[in-house]
Amino acid sequence: MLDATDRALVNLLQDGIAVCERPFADAGAEIGLDEEEVIARVRAMLDCGVLTRFGPMFDAERLGGAFTLCAMRVPRERFEEITHIVNAFDEVAHNYEREYELNMWFVIGAESHEHVTETIDAIELATGLDVVNLPKLEEFYVGLKLEV
Partner 1 sequence: MNHPNQVLIGAVQEGLPLTPRPYLEIGQRIGMSEAETIRLIDDHLRDGVIKRIGVIVRHHELGFCENAMVVWDVPDARVDQVGEWLGDQPGVTLCYRRPRRPPHWPYNLFCMIHGRSRDAVSHRIHALKQAPALAGIPHAVLFSRRRFKQRGARYAFDDAEGGNSDA
As measured in angstroms, the least distance from the Cβ of 63 to partner 1 is 6
As measured in angstroms, the least distance from the Cβ of 120 to partner 1 is 13
Radius of gyration of the chain (CA): 20
As measured in angstroms, the least distance from the Cβ of 125 to partner 1 is 20
Identify residue 132 by its one-letter amino acid code: V
Please enumerate in sequence order all residues whose Cβ is within 8 A of that of 148, keeping only pairs 6 or more positions apart, or say none.
2, 7, 10, 11
Check if the beta carbon of residue 65 is closer than 8 Å to that of residue 111.
yes
Q: Tell me 132's DSSP state.
A: E
